[in-house]
Structure 1
């Protein structure tokens, strides 16, 4: 499920430098035998950059995006792609309406090859697309990505050489897209496309043969680390694993190539919300799955679970926080629990923790990750802070989505071989130091 930003108040980018460290784990030359260790850092991007206006499958925003710097083509062209565990098809912008937008030029690459609509790739490997691939007038494989806000992007499938971490991966399949957007801003978008990393056959992690990847986003200084490949690093922390949920029968509202886990309960401090298990289970249409998605900032819960969490968090913060009494203000269309905090106040009061209880693992959100200060929003001398859990029902989506804001300082391991996700609470900046990425 592609999840991107839609006109956020500002944008922070976590830049992944992909040429630093390669560790050979065995004598095999396959990409799955190599672990690549990659650092993360942040850069502030002004609002109005083009990427904040790319199509959205879900109607919500996010302000932090994981981005990957690499090169594509022969000779290589530098590109920056958003790392999205909720998307299958990687794509690059090949045409643009603004000179300031970064673009990949296929006519400058001798290794670029368009894919015909009769090829096995087009016929067999696009079945998980929301809209089936088709033939264009040149008999090329044409893909259309459709989004819930009625926007779309489209272009032709092609292959070219991707260079990631100093290693060439020839014949990598991606979309060469003509987005056709106009913009009121001349700010450089600084992103050329999107890197799909879900479980689909055309995702980059599938094409490269990596059976495991991990990332860790620091909540202290926004540094972090990304690992591509397998490694035994038990010194980080013992990982608790939750199995990935898979179904064999296609259902209309179930994304079969998403990283779907089973949410079993929610706690506020030590109080377990009294919700039936059926609230967290997909129904006969597939609606109600729980997806772990790096393409979304915040976490969104279906109505009954969100209402119960909202009410309990409100009840436990009544004496320490002042509620924003403004029924007309709903942050990003889905977050209707907000508070007024004196602008001169340097820290938030002690807040109750919120724990998401998965089958076999638990993710606990605490402190400042529970409230988000809304940029530019004030009431008198108070700033506005909103609860970082939103209501999926207000977005007209039929799923739980675990965003990366709540994955800060959590080691996230995506184990495709054993079909599971591992979690552990860690200091991501310290983990980066252990890998030699920071002083």
Structure 2
């Protein structure tokens, strides 16, 4: 082989290998410092669902249509939760369950026979596609597990050995309660067992040995059923005893390769509320993009001076969710041509697991028209699922107007192109908003790279630009 081609080949190999090595080095540093506890609280590394550094990544070839489909299921469930106060029938048990891995259909009786005399299951919202993941330590000695992070859920749960009915595939070993010196099952008469109805919107059940059984169910028939338990939860060298969580024995659905879910909602059983008496009633996060960069989740004190705030809106529709009030939007500095009252026509949730922001229909129509007018020179592309304002190209390659979202109290999200448009494939990008006639939701595409603080103690939510990349 000639010397010159050999040198070129070596150069090409080095060029390819260097970015891979850089990514590997960045990922190693994220893993090594994934969690710690200091005087300001608990700090966890947060990963985008499709980040190359994610400890349980989703497939890179996952079509965006799948993301949208599951996003719709989540939104529908959130809307049904708000409507459930007016329609008790929305909580009736379903009469069918998904297939077992062998293709054999099971019913409620098979679950009940394994755990209790009666464990009804109800549908809810998928948590496997749009959510971010982190690691949590559990047990004594502590082992870390990859967990989905969700501000719209309360109960934290993970898959537990022996998985007496079913476990989905996860990254790393399944938690074994017998290997933890601090594990304990929770009895049926405990106050925590009584709290499950409000935490999961499903009734608890009781095993033959008087152990409390939880059932957490989600939108497309994804669910986890198991024993309410307590153990020591740890973050680096810091730990908290008597943490209540679900030890899942039947876990099926779209949870990716995570071990389970961390709940951050306003409920006594959420991770946040259990740690808050020690750390403070506030948590913050920065949701990273799908690059190798990481974001963070912190529970405890924060720097209040860096944020602009909007009050948490009061709502008796669902006390566990986080509501805020959208008060205005502008495109390229010009306010949308809608009445101010249109922004508050629907209850508005801020949610870490919804991908596409849902706006009241009239607000969305005005936004779509204004963005399309500002991008008049960009070739249009066909509608993509629920996204009807699409362009040829990518968000990074187009001239995208500045879009501002303003909330009650004056807090403003000044959206970069990556927060305005979402690339649905290699040649098409769409406005990352959709209309709704039910519940308005501020999704995670608009929150990416912002530091967002949930200050429950002062009933406010704050935003700061440049929290992560």
TM-score (norm 1): 0.74
- Match in the other structure for 1:263: 326
Residues 1:106 and 1:367: Cα distance change in structure 2 (over 3 Å):
same
Q: Identify the residue that residue 364 of structure 1 maps to in structure 2.
A: 414
Partner of 2:89: none
Deviations, residues 257-282 of structure 1 (Å, cap 9, x unaligned): 11211111221222222333443336
Query: Comparing both structures, which one devotes a greater share of its residues to helix?
Result: 2
2:137 to 61, 71, 75: 71
**What is aligned with 2:240?**
169
Instruction: State the alpha-carbon separation in 1 of the partners of residues 400 and 420 from structure 2.
Output: 8
Uncovered stretches (5+) of structure 2, i.e. residues with no partner: 1-26, 77-125
Return the alpha-carbon distance in structure 1 between the equivalents of residues 37 and 312 of structure 2: 29
- Matched residues in 1 for 2:157 and 2:170: separation? 19
Offset of 1:163 from its aligned partner?
0.8
Question: What is the 5 A alignment of 1:154-165?
Answer: 154-165=225-236
* Residue 39 of structure 1: how far off its partner (Å): 4.3
- 1:353 aligns with 402
Checking the alignment, whether the CA contact within 8 Å between 1:101 and 1:189 is kept in structure 2 is: no
| Residue aligning to 1:321 | 378
Deviations 1:330-372 (A, max 9, x none): 1xxx32222222xxx8942321122111012111212233222
Mapping for residues 142-157 of structure 1, pairs under 5 Å? 142-157=213-228
- Matched-pair contact (CA < 8 Å) for 2:186–2:230: yes
**Which stretches in structure 1 are left out of the alignment for 5+ residues?**
1-12, 25-33, 283-287, 377-382, 430-439
1:35 paired to 2:75:
no
Q: Please state how far the C-alpha of 1:241 moved relative to its aligned partner.
A: 0.8
Residue in 1 that maps onto 2:38: 23
Please say if residues 263 and 290 of structure 1, whose CA atoms lie closer than 8 Å, have aligned partners that are also in contact: yes
Q: 1:86–1:346: structure 2 CA closer, same or farther, 3 Å change rule?
A: closer
Aligned partner of 2:184 in structure 1 is: 113
Aligned-residue Cα RMSD (Å) equals 3.4
Deviations along 1:161-219, whole A, 9 cap, x unmatched? 11123212111111122344389xxxx95410111012111111110123122222455
Secondary structure of the structure 2 residue equivalent to 1:352: coil
SS class of match (2:224): strand
TM-aligned CA deviation for residue 18 of structure 1: 5.7
Q: Choose from 338, 346, 351 the match for 2:390.
A: 338
Give 1:302's aligned residue: 360
Structure with the higher fraction of residues in strand conformation = 1
Contact (CA 8 Å) 1:91, 1:195: kept in 2 or not? yes
Quote the Cα distance in structure 1 between the aligned partners of 2:442 and 2:287.
Answer: 14
Equivalent in the alignment of 1:410: 450
Q: Where does residue 28 of structure 1 map in the other structure?
A: none
Deviation per CA, 1:270-322: give whole Å up to 9, x if none: 2222333443336xxxxx3211212223322232322222222222222x221
Residues 67 and 81 in structure 1, CA contact (< 8 A), matched pair in contact too: yes
Change (3 A) 1:144 1:58: farther
Which residue, out of 350, 355, 363, partners 1:292? 350
Q: Secondary structure at the match of 1:198?
A: coil
For the residue of structure 2 that corresponds to 1:88, the secondary structure is: coil
What's the CA shift for 1:79?
Answer: 0.8
Aligned residues: 371
Q: 1:178 to 1:339 in 2, by over 3 A?
A: farther
Mapped contact 1:16–1:40 kept (Cα < 8 A): no
Inter-partner Cα distance in structure 2 for 1:48 and 1:89:
31
Deviations 1:145-168 (A, max 9, x none): 333434433222111111123212
Q: Are 1:86 and 2:152 an aligned pair?
A: yes
Matches of 2:243 and 2:183 in 1, distance apart?
A: 10
Matched residue SS, 2:301: coil
**Aligned equivalents of 2:379, 2:70: Cα separation in 1:** 36
Change (3 A) 1:306 1:61: farther
In structure 2, how many angstroms separate the alpha carbons of the residues matched to 1:324 and 1:387? 11
For 1:58, what is the secondary structure of its paired residue? helix
Distance (whole Å) between structure 2 residues aligned to residue 36 and residue 244 of structure 1: 23
Q: Distance in 1 between matches of 2:352 and 2:312?
A: 16
Q: 2:294 aligns with which of 223, 241, 251?
A: 223
Q: CA deviation at 1:138?
A: 3.8
Check conservation: 2:159, 2:260, Cα contact below 8 A.
yes
1:68 is displaced (CA, Å) by 1.9
Task: Give 1:391's match in structure 2, choosing from 427, 432, 435.
Answer: 435
TM-score (norm 2): 0.69
Q: 1:37 to 1:423 in 2, by over 3 A?
A: same
Say which SS state the counterpart of residue 397 (structure 2) adopts: coil
The answer to whether the 8 A contact 2:455-2:461 is kept is: yes
